[in-house]
A and B are shown apart, each in its own frame.
Chain A
Amino acid sequence: MLRIALLTLLLVIGSNANSQSQPIKIGELNSYKVFPAFLEPYKKGMELALEEINASGGVLGRKLELVTRDDGGTPGDAVRVAEELISREKVNVLMGTFASHVGLAVSNLANQRKILFLASEPLTDKIVWENGNRYTFRLRPSTYMQTAMLIPEAAKLKKKRWAIVYPNYEYGQSATASFKKLLKQAQPDVEFVAEQAPALGKIDAGAVVQALADAKPDAIFSSLFAADLQKFVREGNTRGLFKSTVVFNLLAGEPEYLDTLKDETPDGWWVTGYPWKEINTPEHRKFRDAYQKRWKDYPRQGSVVGYVAVYTVAEAIKRAKNVETENLVEAMKGLEMQTPFGPIVWRPLDHQSTMGAYVGQLARKGGQGTMVNWRFADGARFLPSFEEVKALRKE
């Protein structure tokens, strides 16, 4: 009741005030109930950023407002929700989405309705390349970038026989294709001896581990995550698959996936992730302290994504000096800003941010998984050449 009363009050006040003092609305949609492990911390990250920005006076003298919606996890529903945000809520910017196909559908709508869409989380390369459009910008390092970040270590090992396991949908398929292509370039004598593509969320881990072991690989590249990863790790540990093979696994160092492994955490795996406890740069420490103070919980990868996404919108508006879509698009191009992971640039060429990720090895410490020997991989260094991107983007 109180909330309704407050809302009514706000509406009354709002309708009397002029547009200059009305909040700037960010319409955020995400699959909160389908991927809660990632998206609950994400939401907390967004809210923290919003509170910080509004506490320091908002943007252009106006407050920022976040209108969040559950997109149901399907492209069809997501498009309807986005339409609602655009036409009923009259949001100035669209933001969010998790799964690649949902991200692509909303990006496609943003292009049709001519509104800025900040795809915060989807990893698919297509959203900025093959299917890239004027109105869509993507924050996270893509599948290609994260795969490329693992290549230097993979090539350094000079392992000849590689086996690959990936969840059978676009993310796993394109991670695999990129990995094979890039490793072949770095190490021409490499051989790919086995490939396993279990259905997402339905890995038959025992059989997959045995099939991989049968191929006698020196090393394994995996893009499994969530429940599939946990099943794979446990079966592999029990069946001794990892004793004689090195494993490279995308995303497995992200707290969302790593923390569930506990004492099963396999030693020595090379992963991309987020060692939140050990990053002590001033910008990260500031973020971590604020986050822990606000939420009494530690930040996950999702927290950083949500936090930076909201700041991106604020910075773009500051640069554009108004909230007209076309101005915002121009302001996004080449926008430079600070993040908890250090400075990033929004590339004018393909609308990809240069946000990086951390590459390191898994280790067990006191029954918990953690990342060691890690380094920061700057996203700008793991992107294809200007010409290659230009050829992919049909604009």
Chain B
Amino acid sequence: MSSSSVLIQFLNGLASASSLFLVAAGLSLIFGVTRIVNFAHGSLYMLGMYLAVWLSERVGFWAAVPLAAAAVAILGSFIELFLLRRIYKAPELLQLLATFALVLVIKDAALWIWGPEDLLGPRAPGFAGAVEIAGSAFPQYDLLLIVLGPLVLAALWLLLTRSRWGILVRAATEDREMAGALGVNERWLFTSVFALGALLAGLGGALQIPREPANLNVDLSVISDAFVVVVVGGLGSIPGAFLAALLIAEVKAFCIGLGFSEATLVIEFIVMAAVLVVRPWGLLGRVQAAARIPGAAELPLQFPGKRMLRAGAALLAVLALVPLASPGYTLVLLTDILVFALFAVSLHFIIGPAGLYSFGHAAYFGLGAYAAGVLVVKNITTMELALALAPLAAGLGALVFGWFCVRLSGVYSAMLTLAFAQIAWSAAFQWDALTGGSNGIVGIWPASWLASKTAYYYLTLLLCAAAILLLWRAIYSPFGYALRAGRDSPLRADAIGIDVRAMQWAAFTIAGLAAGIAGALYAFSKGSISPEAMAIPRSVDALAMVLLGGIQTLTGPVWGAALFTWLQDAAARNFDYWRAAVGMVILFLVIALPGGLGTLGKRGQ
């Protein structure tokens, strides 16, 4: 690189950093005060883009930007008022499920309103051309963005440190309950913070339209970038978000400038993993004070009573009889449901009893699936042996990644699991010779005695039921009690001689192993495996299943997995806008059953 291209790439990085910062700042603000992991933040950004393109044609670009941002802010406050406000008292992370449902609804709404084609916005009047910098043409609009990012940072900083509202917000960020006790109207504060966060998302989207067409894929691609920036910067820290945006955008620009463009697939996750390993609370983050009342303290899970055990046995018997009654598609769907049930139970094993969040559980599902696929397709072992060995590969992966993840807590730990999952995903995506690259591996069918749908169904039923029962049994073993002690009171657990981290590490590895069984079964049931098996949506699906079922229940994840899989299958067949339909059902369940499906039977008590 010549010195002039170093300069230009540096400026490119600055411009991208401003865009990143705008969307990340809102997310960070919302999380800092309300502790909501707002999964729909990218969707708000996408709406900002669509609205700005649509409005530009009517009122011109410069009027469209503030109008679009304001419209998104209004929508944001409605979301807070009518949805999130109902579930603040619900178990943690449920808000994540609610906002996930919003993503589905907003995506289909945008498709319905604006149609399937990408909408390329206008250039910004007055900033349409380029200026000459060091012999290269550099877009005027990018210069504007470079200035705009720090301006927004300064404005937010003034607002947060110099205004009364800002003082209240900071008080609530530091100690929500104390602020409430001192008479601060939390409800109003939360609504206004959410509206401001949404405004920033809408503004970020609107300002992006001269650089990027409004399109339906932008929501998920932006949200993962924004999460990374927020976590690298330190949750709730606006200057941290700016610093992180700068770091990530510059690293990306220079990866491209130096000819390592393939690295952009995963570079932000590598940066995040590196930062979190060195600084567990991000660049400028501080240790979060634990929220004192996340709803009532959880009652310890009771060992299932006789009636429940009998019901479980009856269910198993019914499942074993299904092939006699209906040998066709029902078995295919049930096989999927069983696989995902095990996957969800394995995730629940670390989220529930161990209290470790994971946003990247698909890594172990995928490792199991790929290990099975590679062993069979390269003719290293038979299918039966591959099925036995594959979970070990997943367990090994979990052993390595888990060592790092249990050193962090809360959302930081969850984001580190996500980073590792993305690194594993990119390896599968890029390592053509071993994994078949983006196409994956095809031709991995079960051995001939297991090839029929019925035989494979029985195999899946046997393995999944056994693994699920073992995981459940482990919750009530001394190991399980030690885990729960570590979750509920790490200090006391430590004081009575429990090595909390070692317990969590073991749990993480066991969960990875179990997810690997699910992954291997999945691979052989489909005959092929591709990187999507370990991509972010797979992790999110598992999380949705666990949350639908209820974190603080035993059997909930199984019901969540069954409902989620069946719902997707049925909705996709019967509705044109099936994603919105799935989203609506989840929203309804979130409000009607905040404790999850697993609490359904306990309602009457």
Residues of A within 8 A of B (CB): 33, 36-37, 39-40, 69-70, 72, 74-77, 79-81, 83-84, 87-88, 100-101, 104-105, 107-109, 112, 124, 126, 131, 168-170, 173, 194-199, 201-202, 204-208, 210-211, 213-214, 226-227, 230-231, 234-235, 238-240, 256, 259-262, 264
Q: How far is the CA of A72 from the CA of B527 in the complex (A)?
A: 17
| Smallest CB separation, B101 vs chain A (Å) | 16
B5's partner among A80, A210, A259 (CB-CB below 8 A) is A210
Query: In the complex, A213→B135 CA distance in Å?
Result: 11
Write out the residue numbers on chain B whose beta carbons fall within 8 Å of the beta carbon of A206: 12, 15-16, 139, 142, 211, 253
Q: How far is the CA of A196 from the CA of B15 in the complex (A)?
A: 20
Report 30 cross-chain contacts, Cβ distance below 8 Å, ordered by A residue: A36-B111, A69-B572, A72-B568, A75-B529, A75-B532, A76-B533, A77-B568, A83-B332, A84-B329, A88-B329, A101-B440, A105-B527, A112-B527, A131-B443, A201-B221, A204-B256, A206-B139, A207-B9, A207-B252, A208-B261, A214-B2, A214-B5, A226-B118, A226-B215, A230-B118, A238-B137, A239-B137, A240-B137, A260-B117, A264-B120
Question: How does the 8 Å CB contact mask read for B439-466 relative to A, with 1 for contact and 0 for none?
Answer: 1101101000000010000000000000
Q: Are A36 and B5 in contact (CB under 8 A)?
A: no
- Is B438 within 8 A of A105, CB to CB? no
Whether B253 and A204, one on each chain, are in contact in the complex, defined by CB atoms closer than 8 angstroms, is: yes
- Size of the B side of the interface (Cβ < 8 Å), in residues, is 71
A36 touches B120 (CB 8 A): no
Q: How far is the CB of A51 from chain B (nearest CB, A)?
A: 19
Which among A74, A80, A104, A207 is the interface contact of B336 at CB below 8 angstroms? A80
Q: Does B119 contact A (CB under 8 A)?
A: yes
Give the docked Cα–Cα distance between A170 and B432 (Å). Answer: 9
| B437, CB-defined interface residue at 8 Å | yes
Cα A256 to Cα B116 in complex, Å, equals: 10
Complex interface: chain A residues within 8 A of B532 (CB): 74-76, 101
In the complex, what residue of chain B is closest to A255 when comparing beta carbons?
Answer: B117
Report B119 CB to chain A, min CB distance, Å.
7
A242 nearest CB across to chain B (Å): 11
**Candidates B142, B261, B526; contact of A197 at CB < 8 Å:** B261
Q: State whether A240 and B439 are in contact (beta carbons under 8 Å apart), knowing that A37-B118, A80-B333, A196-B261 are contacts in the complex.
A: no
Residue of B nearest to A300 (CB): B117
At the interface, is chain A mostly helix, strand, loop or mixed?
A: helix
Minimal beta-carbon separation of B577 from chain A (angstroms): 8
Q: List the interface of chain B (C-beta within 8 A of A).
A: 1-2, 5, 8-9, 12-13, 15-16, 108, 111, 116-120, 123, 129-130, 136-139, 142, 210-213, 215-218, 221, 252-253, 256-257, 259, 261-262, 264-265, 328-329, 332-333, 336, 429, 437-440, 442-443, 445, 453, 522, 526-530, 532-533, 537, 568-569, 572-573, 578-579
Asked whether, in the complex, the Cβ of A239 is within 8 Å of the Cβ of B568, the reply is: no
Across-interface contacts of A124 in B (CB, < 8 A): 439
Query: Which of chain A's residues has its CB closest to B432's CB?
Result: A173
**Contact (Cβ within 8 A) A240 B437:** no
Residue of chain B at shortest CB distance from A108: B442
**Cα–Cα distance between A240 and B131 once the two chains are bound (Å):** 11
CA distance A194 to B261 in the complex (A): 11
